[in-house]
Structure 1
Amino acid sequence: MSPDPILQVRDVELRFAGVTALSGVTFDVLPGELFAVIGPNGAGKTSIFNVLSGVYRPQQGSVVFDGHELVGVRPPRIAAMGVARTFQNIELFGNLDLVDNLMLGRHHHLGYGWAAAVAWFGKARNAEVANRRRVEEIVDFLEIEAYRGMPVGMLPYGVQKRIELGRALAMEPRLLLLDEPVAGMNGEETEDMARFILDVRDELGIAMILVEHDMGLVMDLADRVMAMDFGRPLVTGTPTQVQEHPDVVAAYLGLPAKEDA
């Protein structure tokens, strides 16, 4: 018997000034699953992430995370509920070091107010120690110990992408949205990131939704894949099923879809 989905998306419609960005988007994500969304540029992949994280509010449909409706909920609340996100374009603070950037992901776990922070005793001090301990665990997990103490803006691109993943993990999410995590990476950096993504799934048990143009990476890592085109789902299935589906081949190669005989 399969577990109940941690995320249920049903019939989501998103429009901007008469332009339909998403139509009829429906899918589930199971606990601990690595679910991928693929499609050509403009297919609606990033729009799905913006709906899930509360940046966009769809005109129609439902998004239920762990039994709670997310449509209409503000992004900070969704983050506090356990949904974290990385970005295609790196969104780190380049003048801060590795630990400080990761600590930003702990803001929902501070557990004290400004007065305790100014006084710096008791609850505030204990919370700071506990949060830094958690950050150190992530530093070890992602094997980025060598880069501590340096402004992250001076670090290699692949390392910065890994730190961005670490900041998302610092939030202790139960659903992680990965927006093109290997975009712009060389082969070695891509292999490293793929290994850490698998570790997140297999060792931490975090459900993930992966948006990525590297089809080799997607087909190697994903448990299931949903292919999109022009804001609509084409097919959802195993990587092999999706890769061989004629509508997916047509969308990627620009060919007309085959009609049933």
Structure 2
Amino acid sequence: MERVSELASPPSNEPEPLLRVRDLTLRFGGVTALNGVDFEVRRGELFAIIGPNGAGKTSIFNCLNSVYRPQQGTITLNGKSLLGRPPAAVAALGVARTFQNLGLFSHLTLVENLMLGRHHLMRTGFFSGMLWWGRAKREEIAHRAAVERIVELLELEPYRRMPAGLLPYGVAKRAELGRALAMEPTLLLLDEPVAGMNLEETEDTARYLLEVRRELGLAMILVEHDMSLVMDLADRVMALDFGVVIATGAPSEIQGDPKVIEAYLGGAA
């Protein structure tokens, strides 16, 4: 992964973080999935969350985009609370997400799937859109132009008219990323973006993520089991174990932390 690390840009030095999470606690009956989790994400930063299965990584994502409602704690994005808002409202505030399992519509083309990411930005109604006249036509053209820029950024041109169900797996994962980018987010949640990929596909995805970061200036939160990818790309890493933060710091610090080695790698330092 050395060849892509040179593309990384340093995070912003702005004192006010983009995302602030404080005392996040989530329970399911008698099971505590998250216990007093605190972290911040700076503007333009690539922040990674690691931990063994069941540590609470996906639960954090589900709290961030309001799929789960925590019993305790605060989540603020650009100073606005995300708690209590429906997922659509959180998306409108600038939070987009990719998923471990592909969520593409297999019968729609790649471009049509990316257009779905623009839905919350569209203002024309059903009937004006059906007639495709005046404002509706201008809006459609503008959104398609935005999607084409994403297609170019992610080098998806050869697949743009192909049904999503026929896309190679690595390309389909890239299309999932493209649909999230089509939402024009300020914070991008990446849930295991290289799961199931071979080495070449993983390196390509790393390159695209860094290209997206450089071109769009997005803050990203990465959940991933591929430690070489995490340590090569992330500015900071937070390690979880049983819903508790055990370490936060630079990748080099996390790699040598005895608690992380014991909890995540299964052995003593």
- Given candidates 40, 57, 68, the residue that maps to 2:69 is 57
Counterpart-to-counterpart distance in 2, 1:71 and 1:85? 17
CA distance in 1, matches of 2:256, 2:214: 27
Q: CA deviation at 1:201?
A: 1.4
1:236 aligns with 2:236: no
Per-residue CA deviation, residues 142-197 of structure 1 (Å, 9 max, x unaligned), is 00101121111111100000000000000000000000000000111001100011
**What are the equivalent positions in structure 2 for 1:116-195 lying under 5 Å apart?**
116-195=128-207
- Distance in 1, matches of 2:248 and 2:265, equals 19
Contact 1:3 1:31 survives alignment (8 Å): no
Q: Which runs of 5+ in 1 are unaligned?
A: none
Distance 1:233 1:202 in 2: 29
Are 2:103 and 1:91 aligned? Answer: yes
Q: Post-superposition shift, 1:140? A: 0.2
Aligned-residue offset at 1:108? 1.2
- Cα deviation for residue 3 of structure 1 reads 3.3
3-state SS, counterpart of residue 146 of structure 1:
helix
Give 3-state SS (helix, strand or coil) of 2:137's partner.
Answer: helix
Distance in 2 (alpha carbons) for counterparts of 1:37 and 1:254:
17
Give the aligned partner of residue 6 of structure 2. Answer: none
Structure 2 counterpart of 1:95, which letter? Answer: H
Instruction: Name the aligned partner's letter for residue 244 of structure 2.
Output: R
The correspondence for 1:26, drawn from 20, 30, 38, is 38
Q: Distance in 2 between matches of 1:80 and 1:2?
A: 23
**Unaligned 5+ residue runs, structure 2?**
1-12
Write the distance in 2 (CA, Å) between the matches of 1:198 and 1:248: 26
2:123 corresponds in structure 1 to: 111
Aligned counterpart, 2:218: 206
User: Following the alignment from structure 1 to structure 2, what is the Cα–Cα distance between the partners of residues 145 and 41?
Assistant: 36
Q: Which secondary structure state, in structure 1, belongs to the residue aligned with residue 26 of structure 2?
A: strand
Distance 1:205 1:253 in 2: 33
Distance 1:255 1:132 in 2: 51
Mapped to 1, the partners of 2:15 and 2:201 lie a distance apart of 34
Q: What is the distance in 2 between the residues matched to 1:236 and 1:102?
A: 34
Q: Is the 8 A contact 2:14 2:43 kept in 1?
A: no
Query: 228, 231, 246: which one pairs with 2:258?
Result: 246
Deviations 1:39-83 (A, max 9, x none): 000000000000000000000000001111111111000001110
What is the TM-score when the length of structure 2 is the normalising length? 0.94
> Relative to structure 2, which stretch is displaced further, 147-156 or 166-175?
147-156
How far does residue 24 in structure 1 lie from its aligned partner after superposition?
A: 1.1
Identity score, percent: 64
Deviation at 1:119, TM superposition (A): 2.5
Matched to 1:190, the amino acid is: T
SS in 2 for 1:103: helix
CA distance in 2, matches of 1:73, 1:102: 24
- Partners of 1:120 and 1:153 lie apart in 2 by 28
Q: Distance in 2 between matches of 1:57 and 1:73?
A: 9
Note if contact 2:55-2:242 (Cα within 8 Å) is conserved in structure 1. yes
Could you say which residue in structure 2 is the equivalent of 1:45? 57
Report the aligned-residue RMSD. Answer: 1.0
